[in-house]
Amino acid sequence: MTEAATKTTTTWTIDPSHSVVEFAVKHMMFTTAKGRFEDFAGTIVFDEQNVENSRVDVTIKTASVNTNTADRDAHLRSADFFDSEKYPEATFRSTRVEPRGDNSFVVYGDLTIKDVTKEIALEASYLGSGKNPWGVEVAGFEAKTSFNRKDFGLTWNQALESGGVLVSDEVKLNLEIQAQRVEDQA
C-alpha cells in the first residue's frame, strides 16, 4: 500500500458562515433564553480511522454574543458576565477524544472563559464529508454539552420576588459545524 493510501487524517477549518455556536439558559426558571456567537474560528484535525488521534482548537470572540436583544447583549458583554473588553476571547482546546461508535465520540478539552479554564466533555458526531457546488471538500460535525456558568466566574444573578433566580446556572451549548478541508496529514 502506498503512503498516500494510508493517510486518514484531514485538517479542516471551521466555516463560520455555515456553522452555529449557540447556547441556551433557563430564564426566570421556566423559559429559555437562547443566543449565539457570531465571530468564531477553529481547526479540526480529524482521523477517521483512529478518532482518538483527532483534535479541536476553537476561539470565540465574546463581544460577538447575540441574543437578539441589544440590552441583554450589552449586559452579557459587561463585567457581570464575559467582560469582553478585558477577556475578548473564549477558547476550547481538546485534550483527548474517545470513540463511541457510529461516528460518535466524546471530545474532552479545556474551555477557557475569562481567566478560568475547566475541562468539559462534548458529545460529538461526524456527519460526513463531500464536495460543495464550488468543488470544495467540506465536512459536517455536531456537538453538545452543558456546564455550570459559575465555574467560569459568570456569577451574576438576581433573586426573584416569587422565589428562584433570574438566570439558571446550567448553560447548554450546541455546535453545528461545517468545515473546509485544508490538507491531508500523515
Query: Is residue 5 very low, low, confident or very high in pLDDT (cuts 50, 70, 90)?
Result: very low
Query: Is residue 184 very low, low, confident or very high in pLDDT (cuts 50, 70, 90)?
Result: very low
pLDDT at 183: 63
Query: Is residue 19 very low, low, confident or very high in pLDDT (cuts 50, 70, 90)?
Result: very high
Q: Tell me the three state secondary structure of residue 111.
A: strand
For 71, the domain range is 3-185
12 backbone φψ class: left, alpha, beta (φ>0; ψ -120 to 50): beta
DSSP single-letter state for residue 77 = H
Query: Is residue 3 very low, low, confident or very high in pLDDT (cuts 50, 70, 90)?
Result: very low
Give me the number of domains the chain comprises. Answer: 1
Q: Residue 47 above 70 pLDDT?
A: yes
The answer to whether residues 61 and 39 touch, using CB atoms and an 8 Å cutoff, is yes
> What CATH number has the domain bearing residue 169?
2.40.128.110
DSSP single-letter state for residue 70 = H
Model's pTM, two decimal places? 0.89
Cα 52 from chain centroid (whole Å): 19
Query: Which of 30-39, 111-120, 154-163 is predicted least confidently?
Result: 154-163
Q: Residue 119 phi/psi, 5° resolution?
A: -80, 135
Each residue of 48-72: pLDDT tens digit?
Answer: 889 999 999 999 999 999 999 999 9
Query: Is residue 120 very low, low, confident or very high in pLDDT (cuts 50, 70, 90)?
Result: very high
The answer to whether residues 37 and 61 touch, using CB atoms and an 8 Å cutoff, is yes
